[in-house]
Amino acid sequence: MDIEKNNSNNEYVIVKALENGVTISAIAHEDSDTEMPVRLDEGELYIMRISSLLRGYKLRGEVELQTKLGIIKGDSNIIVESGHVE
């Protein structure tokens, strides 16, 4: 499988649910549409795109985040922000 290099300003984070019922909610800018929350069960993966189109994501539950900086484990509420301020 060939992997294309990501030349855009987007970052990606892989979320792995470590328990059933993990929820991921996108936090939109005031002028953007809100997406429905995603629910994951243990072992399921979700790829989040971090970009200026969203303020960030709110995660609830025990998760493992795989980022370009390494692996982060969390248990409770985590907010991943885009870093874009308007």
Q: What is the pLDDT of residues 4-62, one digit of tens each?
A: 454 456 789 999 999 999 999 888 877 666 678 999 999 999 998 887 778 888 889 99
Tokens 């429905």: give the residue. Answer: 36
Q: Would you place residue 86 in the very low, low, confident or very high pLDDT band (cuts 50, 70, 90)?
A: very low
pTM: 0.73
Which amino acid is present at 8?
Answer: S
More confident residue, 59 or 83: 59
Task: Supply the pLDDT for residue 55.
Answer: 81
| Cβ 82 vs Cβ 50: under 8 Å | yes
What are residue 65's DSSP bridge partners? 15, 72
Task: Supply the pLDDT for residue 2.
Answer: 44
User: Hey, which CATH number is domain 11-81, 3.40.50.2300, 3.30.70.60, 2.60.40.10, 2.60.40.50?
Assistant: 2.60.40.50
Tokens 């370009």: give the residue. Answer: 68
Q: Where are the domains of the chain?
A: 11-81
Rounded Cα distance between 40 and 3, Å, is 26
